[in-house]
């Protein structure tokens, strides 16, 4: 019985209902039968590949058809090899508050090689914002609420067992399934989603 209880406690983060999400970082119908959460770091090359190859296919085949609600979550990496990841996540979160998350996320990934080495994160952000939004985002990035949102996403990812990016969870009903990195290739992910949708 003690072993069963220990296993159940270990699985609780995976069985929990999805947390409240920033709707400005989500696409699709919130009432879709499946929710997918993607935790990523804007300076992660694997996150860039996922964002530019798999996510557009997911949007076309599942989000646009009302089968999946796709939620982007921040999980900026840390340490000496990731000096600008948190800054990028804060700019993207600030941009979400003016309705420009996807534009800024696209630009951060497209220009990853430049800003992740030079630290000129703002150049990638400003390139896709009109002047009025640039001013708002520069103000919002200093808002404690923006910083707290990034930290909350990161903490929730850590509590769910994330140790590397990108990380994905498929939420089907009340169950939250972690998707191993090797299954993030689109054909495998598609097979998994189709299996959930047939149940």
pTM of full prediction above 0.85: yes
**pLDDT category, 182, cuts 50, 70, 90?**
confident
The neighbour count for residue 109, using CB atoms within 10 Å, is 22
Strand-pairing partners, residue 21, are: none
The residues, ordered by sequence, that sit 6+ positions from 12 with a Cβ below 8 Å of its Cβ are none
In the sheet with 175-179, reading across from the earlier edge strand, the strands are 26-27, 68-74, 34-40, 167-172, 175-179
First to last CA, the chain: 31
Rounded to whole angstroms, the Cα distance separating 127 from 114 reads: 13
Residue 65, helix vs strand vs coil: coil
**pLDDT category, 22, cuts 50, 70, 90?**
confident
Nearest to 94 by CA among 39, 26, 38, 150: 150
**What's the mean per-residue pLDDT of the chain?**
90
Mean pLDDT value of segment 120-135: 98
Q: How many residues does the chain have?
A: 199
CA 87 to chain centroid, in Å, comes to 15
* Per-residue pLDDT tens over the stretch 106-124: 999 999 999 999 999 999 9
């Amino acid at each position: 019985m003690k072993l069963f209880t220990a296993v159940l406690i270990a699985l609780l983060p995976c069985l929990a209902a999805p947390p409240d999400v920033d709707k400005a970082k989500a696409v699709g119908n919130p009432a879709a039968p499946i929710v997918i959460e993607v935790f990523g770091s804007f300076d992660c090359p694997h996150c860039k590949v996922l964002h530019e190859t798999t996510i557009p296919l997911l949007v076309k085949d599942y989000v646009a058809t009302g089968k999946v609600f796709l939620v982007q979550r921040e999980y900026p990496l840390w340490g000496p090899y990731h000096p600008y990841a948190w800054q990028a996540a804060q700019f993207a979160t600030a941009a979400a508050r003016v309705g420009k998350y996807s534009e800024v996320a696209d630009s951060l990934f497209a220009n990853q090689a430049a800003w992740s080495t030079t630290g000129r994160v703002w150049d990638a952000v400003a390139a896709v914002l009109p002047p009025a939004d640039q001013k708002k985002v520069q103000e919002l990035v200093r808002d404690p609420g923006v910083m707290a949102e990034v930290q909350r996403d990161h903490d929730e990812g850590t509590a769910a067992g994330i140790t590397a990016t990108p990380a994905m969870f498929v939420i089907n009903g009340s169950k939250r399934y972690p998707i191993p990195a090797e299954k993030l290739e689109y054909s495998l992910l598609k097979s998994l989603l189709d299996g959930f949708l047939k149940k």
